[in-house]
């Protein structure tokens, strides 16, 4: 076993390719998993370009695993290269092998299937992605590695096996691929949980302007509010702990107000149905002691306030 003492074996015995038992870094700690015995998933087979991501749909069992490696100073390629070698040795053809620049940057990151932060952290400035397809079994595997200053992160997704995949077809140009799936998920989560994070709303550091951004999350929210005309929500901004509390509350409130204004002006939601508030750093989702935790805490949420007529 190569790099003895540094790697552990990840055995997914339920998969058809029993020979592929990935050796992960021994320091890897599992942080999240999501399995489906029968599912459909769009596997990236090309870079994000011309407003869309080329994918191939796989049907069958799907497993998703995320890991944190508490070793500072690693690069994404250092994390991913040994796994890539194992995947090739198991007979997979690498149809996509790219980094944060060649994959398509921000657009690629938010078009792919990623387990939620802080369990899987993706540094926009430092990630590497690989897709492998097996020519005989019909199985697909994707590897995503990312690095922050204090730790590295890995995600392994395996799909299909014994099912002939659909042809490769680029998705139509939309603000985010799989827009309808995302819309259905956002609406269901908001109604069930009472709040939801708008993942495709991004503010540049120190700014409160959306700069003409489009948002499939806001579109989904507007559709939900059109379908339920009595629903009232609050848009709530959150920050990390960099800076003072009052300054962060001011910034978070201004960002929430920008989102509220966009809902009203671009999506036709009545102003009386949307509030805007700022919490600064008073409601964190993760520790502010790490870069990945601070990124998870910088967010805009929508909270259900009530529904008229109930």
Measured between alpha carbons, how far is 232 from 216 in angstroms, rounded to an integer?
Answer: 19
CATH number at residue 268: 3.30.1330.60
Tell me which of 135, 170, 205 is where a domain ends. 170
pLDDT of residue 168: 42
- Work out the widest C-alpha separation in the chain, in whole angstroms: 65
Domain identity same for 147 and 234: no
Q: For residues 253 and 237, is the Cβ–Cβ distance under 8 A?
A: yes
Measured between alpha carbons, how far is 16 from 35 in angstroms, rounded to an integer?
Answer: 16
Domain identity same for 137 and 262: no
Number of structural domains found in the chain: 2
pLDDT of residue 310: 58
Closest C-alpha to 281, from 253, 248, 307, 254: 248
Query: Residue 197: enclosing H or E segment and its boundaries?
Result: strand 195-197
DSSP secondary structure string for all residues of 220-273:
HHHHHHHHSTTEEEEEEEE--SSS-HHHHHHHHHHHHHHHHHHHHHHH---GGG
| Residue 165 included in any domain | yes
Measured between alpha carbons, how far is 9 from 20 in angstroms, rounded to an integer?
Answer: 10
Regions in the chain scoring below 50 on pLDDT: 1-19, 162-183
Domain identity same for 31 and 98: yes
DSSP state of 214: -
199-219, pLDDT tens digit by residue?
878 776 677 888 777 777 888
Q: By percentage, how much of the chain surpasses pLDDT 70?
A: 85
pLDDT of residue 184: 55
Residue owning tokens 């042809």: 167
pLDDT of residue 259: 93
b/e burial code for range 140-171 (CB count within 10 A of at least 16 → b):
bbbbbbbbbeebbbbbbbbbbbebebeeeeeb
């Amino acid at each position: 076993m190569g790099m003895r003492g540094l790697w552990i074996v990840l055995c997914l015995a339920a998969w058809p390719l029993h020979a592929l038992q990935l050796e992960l870094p021994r320091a890897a700690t599992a942080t999240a998993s999501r399995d489906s015995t029968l599912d459909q998933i769009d596997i990236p087979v090309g870079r994000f370009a011309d407003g869309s991501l080329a994918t191939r749909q796989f049907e069958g069992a799907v497993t998703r695993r995320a890991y944190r490696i508490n070793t500072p100073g690693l690069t994404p390629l250092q994390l991913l290269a040994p796994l890539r070698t194992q995947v090739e040795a198991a007979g997979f053809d690498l149809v996509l092998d790219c980094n944060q620049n060649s994959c398509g940057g921000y657009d690629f990151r938010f078009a792919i299937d990623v387990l939620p932060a802080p369990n899987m952290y993706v540094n926009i400035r430092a990630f590497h992605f690989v897709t492998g397809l097996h020519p005989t079994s019909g199985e697909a595997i994707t590897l995503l590695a990312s690095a922050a200053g204090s730790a590295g992160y890995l995600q392994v997704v395996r799909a299909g096996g014994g099912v002939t995949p659909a042809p490769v077809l680029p998705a139509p140009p939309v603000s985010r691929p799989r827009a309808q799936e995302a819309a259905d998920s956002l609406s269901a989560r908001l109604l069930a949980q009472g709040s939801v994070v708008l993942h495709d709303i991004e503010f540049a550091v120190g700014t409160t302007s959306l700069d003409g951004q489009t948002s499939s999350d806001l579109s989904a929210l507007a559709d939900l509010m059109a379908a339920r005309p009595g629903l009232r929500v609050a848009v709530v901004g959150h920050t990390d702990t960099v800076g003072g509390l009052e300054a962060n509350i001011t910034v978070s409130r201004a960002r929430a107000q920008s989102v509220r204004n966009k809902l009203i002006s671009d999506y036709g939601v009545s102003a009386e149905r949307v509030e805007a508030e700022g919490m600064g750093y008073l409601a964190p989702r993760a520790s502010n002691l790490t870069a990945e935790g601070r990124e998870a805490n910088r967010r805009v949420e929508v909270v259900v306030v009530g529904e008229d007529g109930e």
